Every structure is written in structure tokens, then in C-alpha cells.
Amino acid sequence: MTNNNIQTLLREIPGVDSLLEKIKNSPDFKNIPLSVVKSSIREVLERIRTSILNGVIGEKEVYCDAINDKVILHEKIIQDVLIYAKETIAPRLVPTINATGVVLHTNLGRSLLCQDALERINQIAAGFSNLEFDIKKGKRGERYSAIEQILCELTGAESAMAVNNNAGAVFLCLNTLARDCEVVVSRGELVEIGGSFRIPDVMEKSGCKLKEVGTTNRTHLRDYESAIIDKTALLLKVHTSNYTIEGFTASVPLTELALLGKKHNLPVMEDLGSGSLIDLSKYGLAREPTVSDVVLSGADVVTFSGDKLLGGPQAGLIVGRADVIKRIKSNPLTRALRIDKLTLAALEATLNLYRDEMQAIKKIPTLRMLTMPFDETVERANKLINDINLKIESMGIEDRVVVGYADLSSRTGGGSYPEYSIPSRCVTIDPKSISASLLEKKMRLYKPSIIGRIDNNRFIVDPRTLQKGEDQIICNALADILNRE
Ligand SMILES: *Cc1c(COP(=O)(O)O)cnc(C)c1O
């Protein structure tokens, strides 16, 4: 394109004010703030300008026809401004459909809250509450009073508190109990949880010195004992919840470490990570120590997450001996890590369900998904296959896909069980007109976003992690995507 042509095209671009005048009374823009409309106009005009300068417009692009007709051109620009403005004000944090079968999916928000928790959040968020007010005494109360008693009841601990998340809980405990001192920990337990949570890094930031003992695969009681010096302040065990070491291994049971702690007058802490309150082995999952097990084994302080196996809101729970918890509560850092009232409301409601185990299993989404029997996944997979087939037949596009099933496995995820998998019947979707990976992408970009996985060149939907009504959305999305191919 010649320079002259470019100049002519550039002159066709309308000004911000003339577009604004046209848009002002358009019902399409009624709920879009003026500032957003203005910035969207500028953005769209800038893009057109760039396209012209790059020689795209005037040759092959959509604006090609429009550029010769002012009315069409303005309409086209206004359409694009509307799209851009709507995208600008649309929420970035949006619901997604988890078809991966990973129950505690860290990237997809870990635990879903139970209905009771949602209702309590609504109540507490909308009004004033006794968050830090003792109603009986008529004076300042403690933030933890909503959950302390029930946590003690459910775990057998003497005292309890909660902070923002478990990484915070570990940090706070170490800082309180061992700042400027040494913490003895086994080399086999120096874990990285994901994101950037590494036990050694957190320890360093909390002001204590790590004393590593033993080897990656074997650590003995004598290793701990010979590491104890005057500057030792804490013996730490970290539950290796996201991996297992197999083969020639040895680790020291907490009961023995607790006795060693007593002998040397040192507190013993366990970072349990996932922290289940009930024994899930009854429901076919692997046996993992529960929080009560750890308390009973003699740990002076135990930390665990609120939104892993517990199935509540993001929180870091700390339970243990009364005098130890008291020290932690009075650390000024609790202020920086404190749990907020919405979380507290949700946590109290979730914990309350644990007073009746069957109720907890039924009502807490994480537990319901984890304990869903294989037969139920078969039922749900069959229903989804049937729904998809009916839908694509009704649209006459049944030749574009082969829908079947495969017996695969779901995973607990979220650093909760060591690579533990649960048998699950999954729906396999094998598109004929596009590749499985393109289908995966299209499902992911769909609104709402549907996150699945690829296995053996098929798109996999695991019914275990699907919530009510999501089958239908998947069915419609798939039909919609295939229909456009
Ligand atoms: C997950 C985990 C943490 C971190 O907990 P968050 O709630 O994610 O902060 C710490 N320690 C262990 C052993 C964990 O498994």
C-alpha cells in the first residue's frame, strides 16, 4: 500500500467524541461506565490505526469493506467497542467446571464449601457480628472463640486457633516457638508443597535455623537425639503428604519423637498438611493419620489446612497443648495472619457438620467427591454418555464424535494424599472433525470454562468432580462446539 493510501485510510477513522455521541443513547451501553466506554473506544481506534499502518486494513481484513462506507465503518467500530467494554468489566475470577477428576484442584480453588458454610457466610458478611465481642460479658472477646471449642472436641486437643492458611500457621508456630533457635527436622521431610512453599524456606523466614538430620530415605531416633543442643527449641515432623518414599526407608514415629521431646523438655510439632478429621479408610481411601491420631501420639502442636481434606474454607488450623497455643496466640504476627470473619463463619459451619460423620460425608463436597463409590461414577458416566448421544443425534451431528467410557482414576490432589488415585468411570470423547487437544482448548475457552484432560487422544470427563447441573452444560457445550466445526 502506498503512503497516500495509508493517509487516506487513517483520515477515515472517526474521532473519540463523535463515536461517544453515537454510543451515548444506545441501550447496549446502558450499564457500562463512561470511563470504560471511553477507554474502549481509544483502544479499538488504536488497533485500527495500527492495522492500517501495518498494511492489514485495506487489503484483507474485516474492516476492508467498511473503510469505504462511513456508516458501516462506524457501526463496526461501535460493535467492537461494545465487545471490548464488556470484556473489560466482566469478572476475571469466574466459576469453572472441574471435569479433571482431581478433587482438591489447587488451580481450580481446592475445596468447595458446603451449603451450611455458604449460608453462614451470607449471614455474617451482611451484618455486624460478635467477631471479637463476648456477648455474655459485654466486653472484648477472642476471634477464635467461634471455632476453638469445636476444634478441641473434634481433635482431642486442649486448645486451638486458626489463621489465614496452613503455610501461615507453620510460619507462626516456628516463629513463636523457635525464633533464633534450632529446629530439628528429618531430611526426608523437607518438602515442597507447590507454588513456592518449601519447608526450609519458610523456616528461614520465620527466623529459625534448620537442623537437618538423617538421610533422604532413613532417619532414626538417635539422629534427632544427637542433634539436640542448647539452642534447640523444637522437634518438627512434616507429613509428607504429596509423595512417598519407598524401598529401604525408616522414619521415626511421632510417639517416639514425642517421648524424646519430653525427655529434653522440647515441644514437638507436626505439620500435617492435609489434616483429615475422620478416618477415610472406611470409605475405601488409604489410611492417613487424622488430626486426633497426631494429637493422641503426643504432638504438642499440630498444623493443618482448612481447605484440603477438611473440605472447608482456606485456613490454617493450629491445635495443641494449652500453654503452647497460648504463646502462639500472643505472637504479634497473628495480627498479620489473622483469619477473616467470612472464613471463620464458613469454618465454624463446616466443623459443625463433623459432629456427625455421616452428615459430614454427605454434605461436605470434598468428602462426598472423595468417597463417591465407583458404581456411582458408572451411573453418572452412563447418564452423561446418554445425554450427549441424544443431544448430538437431535442435531444430526452424531458422525462428528465417538463417545464412550474408560475406567480410569480420579486423584485427591492438593497435596493431600501421596499420589493417591481413586477408580472412576470416565466419559471419553473422541472428536472426528478436530483433534482432542483442540477440543480440550475449546472446552477450556467456553463460557463457562470446562477443564478436562486428554488421555490416549481422547478428551476425558471424570464425573466424580462434576457438580449438579454441570453435565448438561458439558453436553450443550460439546454439541455447540462440534456443530460449529
Ligand atoms: C498443603 C500443605 C501446606 C500448606 O498449606 P496451605 O493451606 O496451602 O497454606 C503446608 N504443609 C504441608 C505438609 C502441606 O501439605
Residue type, 328: I
Cβ contact 228:184 at 8 Å: yes
Give the Å distance between the CA of 106 and the centre of ligand 1: 11
Decide whether any atom of ligand 1 lies within 6 Å of the 104 Cβ: no
CA quadruple 156, 321, 130, 170: dihedral sign: negative
Return the pLDDT at 335. Answer: 95
| Ligand 1 centre distance from Cα of residue 196 (Å) | 11
Check whether 201 has a pLDDT greater than 90.
Answer: no
273 Cβ inside 6 Å of ligand 1: yes
How confident is the model at residue 218, as a pLDDT?
85
pLDDT at position 10, please? 85
Please tell me the total number of residues recorded for the chain in this structure.
485
Written as one letter, the residue type at 218 is R
Our answer on whether the CB atom of 380 is closer than 6 Å to any ligand 1 atom is no
Hey, how many other C-beta atoms are within 10 angstroms of the C-beta on 34?
11
CA distance 295 to 237: 13
Could you give the CA distance from residue 465 to residue 112 in angstroms, rounded to a whole number? Answer: 11
Residue 193 CB less than 6 A away from ligand 1: yes
278-334 pLDDT per residue, tens: 999 999 888 889 999 999 999 999 999 999 999 999 999 999 999 999 999 999 999
Residue 432 to residues 305, 407, 439, 440, 458: CA-CA distances in angstroms? 44, 22, 10, 13, 10
Most confident region among 205-219, 277-291, 331-345 by mean pLDDT = 331-345
Asked whether the predicted pLDDT for residue 141 surpasses 60, the reply is: yes
Residue 334: CB within 6 Å of ligand 1? no
| Fold: same for 115-363 and 374-484 | no
Instruction: Tell me the pLDDT band of 12, cut-offs 50, 70 and 90.
Output: confident
pLDDT exceeds cutoff 70 at 244: no
Task: Return d(Cα 365, Cα 476) in angstroms, integer.
Answer: 24
| pLDDT over 70, % of the chain | 94
Reported as a pLDDT band with limits 50, 70 and 90, residue 28 is: very high
Q: Does ligand 1 lie within 6 Å of residue 276's CB atom?
A: no
Show the beta-strand stretches assigned E in 249-362.
268-273, 301-305, 316-320
Can you give 78-128 as a three-state secondary structure string?
A: HHHHHHHHHHHHCCCCCCEEECCCECCCHHHCCCCCCHHHHHHHHHHHHCC
Residue 419 half-sphere exposure toward CB, CA atoms < 13 A:
4
Does domain 374-484 correspond to CATH entry 3.90.1150.110? yes
* C-alpha 312 to ligand 1 mean position (Å): 14
Closest atom, ligand 1, to C-alpha of 315: 7
- pLDDT value at 417 more than 60: no
Mean pLDDT of 398-426: 87
What CATH number is given for 115-363 in this structure? 3.40.640.10
pLDDT at 243: 63
pLDDT tens-digit map of 220-233: 999 999 999 999 99
Q: 3 exposed, middle or buried (CB, 10 Å; 0-12, 13-18, 19+)?
A: exposed
pLDDT of residue 181: 97
The 10 Å Cβ neighbour count of residue 233 is 19
Provide the grid cell at 182.
Answer: 534450632
- Tell me the DSSP string of 430-472: EESSS-HHHHHHHHHHSSSEEE-EEETTEEEE-GGGPPTTHHH
Residue ID of nearest Cα to ligand 1 atom 3: 273
CA nearest ligand 1 atom 13, residue: 273
Phi (first) and psi of residue 287, to 5 degrees: -75, 120
Residue 240 in contact with residue 254, Cβ under 8 Å? no
- Other C-beta atoms within 10 Å of 242: how many? 20
For ligand 1, atom 5, which residue shows the shortest CA distance?
166
DSSP state of 31: T
CA distance 58 to 214: 72
> What does the pLDDT look like over 60-100, one tens digit per residue?
455 655 666 777 888 889 999 999 999 999 999 999 999 99
Q: What is the distance between the terminal CA atoms of the chain, rounded to a whole angstrom?
A: 35
Residue 416 clears pLDDT 70, i.e. is over it = no
Q: What pLDDT does 262 receive?
A: 97
CB atoms within 10 A of CB 141: 16
Q: Ligand 1 within 6 A of 368 CB?
A: no
Ligand 1 lined by 274 (C-beta under 6 Å): yes
**How many other CB atoms are there within 10 angstroms of residue 375's CB atom?**
9
Q: Which three cell numbers stand for residue 263?
A: 525427655
The number of beta carbons lying within 10 Å of the beta carbon of residue 10 is 13
Closest by CA position to 62, among listed 43, 47, 40: 47
Q: Which residues contact 41 (CB under 8 A, 6 or more apart)?
A: 16, 19, 20, 23, 77, 81
Atom of ligand 1 nearest to the CA of 169: 9
User: Is the shortest distance between the CB of 239 and ligand 1 below 6 Å?
Assistant: yes
**Quick one: DSSP state of residue 15?**
P
| Domain ranges for the chain | 3-89, 115-363, 374-484
Percent of the chain with pLDDT over 90: 78
How far does residue 189's CA lie from ligand 1's centre (Å)?
A: 13
Tell whether ligand 1 has an atom less than 6 A from the beta carbon of residue 270: no
